[in-house]
Amino acid sequence: MPTNVNHSYKPEPENNNNFGVLVLLRRVLRFFVQTMMLMVLLFFVILLIFRWVPVPSSAFIFQQNSLAKQFPKTYLPASYEWVDWDEIPIHVALAVIAAEDQRFPKHWGVDMVELKKALAQRGKKKRPRGASTITQQTAKNLFLWNGRSYIRKIIEAGMSLGIEITWPKQRILEVYLNIAQFGDAIFGIKQASKKLFDKTPQQLTINEAAMLAAVLPKPAVSNVNDPKPALIKRQKWILKQMKQLGGNAYLRKLK
């Protein structure tokens, strides 16, 4: 007798499909974790190198030079030159701390006190106050991009902690003073002194140091040689804060 053969289609068990998806997800997750670990490792290697080696450039300087190449009639190439800590006057460093981050010696990259104040002002009619520390600004200028973004802020906070762990406070301030923007396409205290005052950093007066610190929030549109009343007002406020901080003795806390 002929044998009855069942030729009907039998679908693959659904469990096999689910297993394949799980395997793929695990591979993607493993690749993501390994990539992140590699990036973190590379970040700390770069920090260890730049703990002693002068920083040759920054993300902001690179962006400025890229714009200058693309639109040479609109943008100037970056002016930048490294200067060692020993050649930076104490009152220049103090002016920047007074202007940007008076709790710089105390925090670990993120100033929680200022952050809470900034968050409390959100939603009010007042312009939100800034809460970025010198360490955060160093991380942003050195590795990241400009503009307001929660993603950038999160990355910036993580990098700031890494910088605080790897570099002493004095080194953080030294790098910041070298890569901060002080004018249109002018980066670092050495080029700022030269182009804006025709001086070396050592020749800067206290008033000039306070004026340079005053432009930091809006360096591209501020003119230290023809300052607007708001800029002069900020300079005077910085000079007052420098005295209240205790003058040059305040920087001993960075040791």
Mean confidence (pLDDT) of the chain: 88
- Tell me, what's the pLDDT at 8? 56
* Conformation bin of residue 117: beta by default, left when phi > 0, alpha when psi is -120 to 50: alpha
* DSSP per position, 136-200: HHHHHHHHS--S--HHHHHHHHHHHHHHHHHS-HHHHHHHHHHHSEEETTEESHHHHHHHHHSS-
Q: Which two tokens stand for residue 58?
A: 């920054």
Give the range among 128-137, 168-177, 198-207 with minimum mean pLDDT. Answer: 128-137
User: Using one digit for the tens of pLDDT, what is the confidence trace for 60-83?
Assistant: 999 999 999 999 999 999 999 999
End-to-end alpha carbon distance in the chain: 99
Under the banding of pLDDT at 50, 70 and 90, the label for residue 136 is very high
pLDDT digits (tens, 9 = 90+) for 174-220: 999 999 999 999 999 999 999 999 999 999 999 999 999 999 999 98
Residue 31: pLDDT band with limits 50, 70, 90: confident
Give the pLDDT confidence score for residue 124 in this predicted structure. Answer: 62
pTM attached to this predicted model: 0.85
Q: Of 6-15, 133-142, 225-234, which gets the smallest average pLDDT?
A: 6-15
pLDDT tens by residue, 95-125 = 999 999 999 988 888 877 777 777 676 656 5
- Residue 100 is predicted with a pLDDT of 94
Structural domains in the chain plus CATH codes: 58-254 (1.10.3810.10)
Q: How confident is the model at residue 11 (pLDDT cuts 50, 70, 90)?
A: low
